[in-house]
Amino acid sequence: ESEMFKFWQPITHMFMHGSPMHLLFNMFGLYMFGSILEQFWGGKKFLFFYLSCGLGAALLHQGVNYYEFHSSYNSLIELGATQDFINEILKQPVYNYNDSIVQTLSDSYKIRAVGASGAIYGILVAFGFMFPNEKLMLMFIPIGIKAKFFIPALLVYDFLSGLNGSSIFGFGGGVAHFAHIGGALIGFVMMWYWKKNQFDKNRWDR
C-alpha cells in the first residue's frame, strides 16, 4: 500500500540489517548452519535455497501486514474515522498511540522489515532435516537439545509471539516473527519435496 515500495525490496531486505549486532547474529547463524549445508549441496543449490527462504519470509510477513493494515483500516472507518484522519496518521513518523487500532494501522504501514533472519530460519529447518539428532543449545544456556526438538520449539515460540504481537517472554522486541515462520515454512516445503523426489528416484518398483 505504500508509495515508497520498490519491486526489488523483497530481495534486498535480506541483505540489510538494523544494527551491527543484528548483522553479527544473523551472519553467525549463516556461518554455523549454512556452511555445512553448502558443503553437501554446493554453492548454486544453497544460494537458491537461501534466496527462496528469504522471499518466503518477506511474502508471509507482508501478507500478515496487509491483513493487519486493512483490518485496522476497516475498523477505524466503522468507528467513524474519515479518510483525511487516516491519511494524516499514515503521513506521521512511527509513534506510540494510545489506541491499539490506530497503533496497528501505523505500525503495519511504517515499520521497516530488514534482515536475513527469515532465510536463516529456512536454513535451520534444512539442518534439522539433515541432522535431526545433532544437539543444539541456546547461547549462554549450556543444555544440548536435539535439532528435531529444538527447532520446532523455536518455531512454536515465534508463532505464539507473532500471534501475541510481541515476544511472549519479554525479550527480542522488534522481531518480525512471521518472517521467521515464512522462511521456515518455505525451507520445510523445499526439503520435503527434495527428500520425496530423492525417494522416488530410488524406488525399486518403478
- Mean pLDDT on 10-25: 93
Q: What pLDDT, on a 0 to 100 scale, did the predictor assign at position 80?
A: 95
- Mean pLDDT on 172-194: 88
Average pLDDT over all residues of the chain: 88
Q: Decide which of 110 and 122 is more confident.
A: 122
Q: Residues in the chain, how many?
A: 206
- CA dist., res. 58 & res. 145, Å (int): 29
Q: What is the pLDDT of residues 132-173, one digit of tens each?
A: 999 987 766 678 889 999 999 999 988 988 887 665 544 455
pTM of the model: 0.86
pLDDT of 82 above 90? yes
Q: What pLDDT, on a 0 to 100 scale, did the predictor assign at position 166?
A: 63
Q: What pLDDT, on a 0 to 100 scale, did the predictor assign at position 75?
A: 96
- Residue pair 118/53 in contact by the 8 Å Cβ criterion: yes
pLDDT of 13 above 70? yes
pLDDT of 199 above 90? no
The fraction of the chain above a pLDDT of 90, given in percent, is 68
Cβ neighbours, 10 Å, residue 104: 20
Q: What is the 3-state secondary structure (H, E, C) of the chain?
A: CCCCCCCCHHHHHHHCCCCHHHHHHHHHHHHHHHHHHHHHHCHHHHHHHHHHHHHHHHHHHHHHHHHHHHHHHHHHHHCCCCHHHHHHHHHCCCCCCCCHHHHHHHHHHHCCCCCCHHHHHHHHHHHHHHCCCCEECCCCCCCCEEHHHHHHHHHHHHHHHHHHCCCCCCCCCCCCHHHHHHHHHHHHHHHHHHHHHHHHHCCCCC
